Each structure stands twice: as C-alpha cells, then as structure tokens.
C-alpha cells in the first residue's frame, strides 16, 4: 500500500507543488514519507523545482516563531541533500542555489 501511495505522489508531485493548499498538505506528511518522496529518483519533478519548493518553505519557516519550527526547519534543511546539484541548470546553480546559503561553495563548484 505504501508503495502505491508513494508512486501516486511521485506522479502528481508537479501538480501538488503548483497548488498552495496541496503544498501545505504535502509538508504535513510524515517525515519518512517526505524522505522517500524527495530522495527517490522516480519522483517526477525537476531538481530546480524541488530546490525551489524546499527553499520557499525554509524561508517561510525562518519567519515563524512557533515552538516546533526549529526541529521541522532542521529536517527540511536536511531534505536539501535530496537535491541532486549536478542536475540543476548552471544558471540557477550559480544564482539562486548559491545565494540561498544552504549549500557550500565547494558543493556548488563540484556540481559544475
């Protein structure tokens, strides 16, 4: 059953990411599900889009002072490791990815 749900999420992830309410619901999934979804090579979303959605959520969370935010923030920050930098287009890599501060210069250089 879990495999079927994961497959459905993978196929529909671009639609989910385009809808603000569905994006909110996506981040309410258990951490294990998000880890599986974001780290699987079968997930049908570009690396640029995955980075963008994670960055957007992290920036949002930085402004939130909720008690649970720090733990969630650290978890989502760790999910950035699922972004395969060599697959990100060079222009975005040296602009938004670099200036986000979430990746070291060395990892960006290595991806180039």
Q: Is the dihedral of CA 82, 6, 31, 50 positive or negative?
A: positive
What is the tens place of the pLDDT at every residue in 24-38?
A: 999 999 999 999 999
Sole residue written with tokens 């957007």: 56
List the chain domain ranges.
Answer: 2-111
pLDDT attached to residue 54: 94
pLDDT at 42 over 90: no
For the residues 7-17, what does the mean pLDDT come to? 88
User: How far, in Å, CA of 52 to CA of 87, rounded?
Assistant: 14
pLDDT for 3 equals 80
CATH code at 2-111: 1.25.40
Task: For residue 6, name the pLDDT band (cuts at 50, 70, 90).
Answer: confident
Alpha carbons within 13 angstroms on the beta-carbon side of residue 31 total 9
């Amino acid at each position: 059953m879990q495999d079927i749900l994961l497959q459905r999420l993978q196929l529909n992830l671009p639609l989910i990411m385009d809808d603000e309410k569905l994006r909110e619901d996506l981040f309410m999934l258990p951490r294990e599900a998000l880890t599986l979804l974001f780290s699987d090579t079968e997930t049908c979303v570009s690396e640029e889009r995955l980075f963008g959605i994670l960055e957007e959520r992290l920036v949002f969370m930085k402004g939130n002072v909720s008690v649970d935010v720090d733990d969630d923030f650290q978890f989502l920050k760790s999910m950035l490791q699922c972004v395969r930098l060599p697959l990100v287009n060079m222009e975005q890599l040296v602009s938004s990815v670099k200036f986000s501060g979430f990746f070291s210069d060395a990892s960006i250089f290595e991806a180039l």
